Structure 1
Amino acid sequence: MSTLTLAALLTLVTSTLARTVTVSNHCPFIVWPAMFTGTGTLPSYSTGWEAAPDTSVTFSVPDNWQAGRIWGRRDCDFSTNPGPNSCLDGGCNGGLECDSNTGSGVPPATLAEFSLNQNSGLDYYDVSLVDGYNLPISITNNVGCPVTNCPVDLGPNCPAPLIGPFDSTGFPVGCKSACEANLDGDPSNSPNCCTGQYDTLQTCPSSGVTYYSYFKSNCPNAYCYAFDDSTALFTCPASNNAEYTVTFCP
């Protein structure tokens, strides 16, 4: 087989194995979506862009996309000092386009997380509030696998120790996690962060996480602390080649 033919075959295989992800903004305001890949091959699209209301983009991700996350940023201005502080929440190193190595985003931020075609031939996906909340999000698909979401605006009723940041009108556009708010004073050994002596399911039950019930009662399908796997981690057979849609303000 010639080198050219082999290259063409590899291109065909790669194309066949690629998955499709759509990101839609149904919010009545601009959102700046961001994307980060924890390990492995990067998706084909930009790591950050501007999304006007009622717009969407579709792009390919690797069939085995690992530790991928998508989130939205609010109230951004990249014209001066582009970086993690360019947005009111969810900002990242790099400015508009998040740095592919260090641009994982600044909490609070609602995350859509993916690890495709992993153990036992399954896609794993979830909506996470472990880093706090900043936008309602859903993950849907085209093959009938479960929907996961946090469709509620958690900002206005957020507990006082967690609320914020606030926009220019004083409206809360975020709700920190108890870990991010550092309520117990030591994030390296914290029942809110499940760190140190609390780094297992047995030593870090949800009952020990401050304000866990606020997040979980409003968004029962979302990760609300580190060990929420049994209620918040969803799977879909990789053989289904699911196409996933992440929607802000579903």
Structure 2
Amino acid sequence: MKYLLAVSSLALALGALAQRTINVHNACPFTIWYMFTGSGTLPSHTTGWEATEGTAVTFQVPSGWTAGRIWGRRDCDFSTNPGPNSCLDGGCNGGLVCSTGTGTGVPPATLAEFTLGSGGVDYYDVSLVDGYNLPVSITNNVGCGVPSCPVDLGPNCPAPLKGPYDSTGFPVGCKSACEANLDGNPSNSRNCCTGQYNTHATCPSSGVEYYSYFKDNCPNAYAYAYDDTTSLFTCSSSLNAVFTITFCP
């Protein structure tokens, strides 16, 4: 019995150690509000918080964290409308502390995405598939690749995609061609890679409107759903990389 208890205690201890460190840094010259989601066991850190200029937080995520997403919300006011429209972009159900079961925020929103420990590999990327609202990079301490979109895509965003705008008229987002519904049928769309266009073969980047605007400015970020070859980064899980997500790097 003592042996079984010892083995059980060791298993619990190893389970407690099976954590990975994530840093999130706001290098923007203004306040933003963070949110993260994922599948399975979620980190113990709050799922939504305010980050003033220059602040950073560190928290632990499970070593097998899957479908992890971290993004920033802009121009939020939770006092009168604590829901998905309480921010100009990136908003979510729940107000400041977002619901963990409702996916990503209201587009446009730049995403930092993670699936850790899948077959001994960490997968991570910066995605503009849901549009852009903040520059983002994902660095690490073990020399693996760095996905990023370090450019402010709002001011020069093509007119059909530009917005929303803050109270001064400055564009704080740039929608994807899918979100802007440029071809009129999001359920069967080249821009969304849906319907008859839902494979890599039937949805080449050449068929996605304004793809080059996003890809030319941010070549290391997903500009559409099937950008894997240039935008999905990997790192051996055995290296136990510490990942740092920096907004406005």
RMSD: 1.2
Kept in 2: contact 1:98–1:104 (CA 8 A): no
Whole-angstrom CA distance in 2 between matches of 1:96 and 1:9: 38
Superposed displacement of residue 216, structure 1: 0.1
Superposed displacement of residue 97, structure 1: 1.0
Alignment match, 1:67: 67
Whole-angstrom CA distance in 1 between matches of 2:169 and 2:135: 19
CA offsets 1:106-126 (integer angstroms, 9 cap, x no match): 10000000000103x100000
Alignment match, 2:139: 140
Letter of the structure 1 residue corresponding to residue 83 of structure 2: G
Superposed displacement of residue 101, structure 1: 1.1
Alignment match, 1:23: 24
Superposed displacement of residue 43, structure 1: 1.2
Alignment match, 1:41: 41
Letter of the structure 2 residue corresponding to residue 35 of structure 1: F
Superposed displacement of residue 11, structure 1: 3.3
Alignment match, 1:52: 52
Kept in 2: contact 1:94–1:103 (CA 8 A): no
Superposed displacement of residue 6, structure 1: 5.1
Letter of the structure 2 residue corresponding to residue 122 of structure 1: V
Task: Report how many residues are paired.
Answer: 248
Alignment match, 2:14: 13
Q: If the length of structure 2 is used for normalisation, what is the TM-score? A: 0.97
Whole-angstrom CA distance in 2 between matches of 1:10 and 1:83: 41
Q: Give the 3 Å change call, closer, same or farther, for CA 103–228 of structure 1 in structure 2.
A: closer
> What are the ranges of 5 or more consecutive residues in structure 1 without an aligned counterpart?
none
Whole-angstrom CA distance in 2 between matches of 1:7 and 1:213: 55
CA offsets 1:190-223 (integer angstroms, 9 cap, x no match): 0000000000111000000000000000000000
Whole-angstrom CA distance in 1 between matches of 2:214 and 2:177: 11
CA offsets 1:81-136 (integer angstroms, 9 cap, x no match): 201001010000111111011152110000000000103x1000000000000000
Superposed displacement of residue 40, structure 1: 1.1
Superposed displacement of residue 7, structure 1: 5.3
Whole-angstrom CA distance in 2 between matches of 1:145 and 1:135: 23
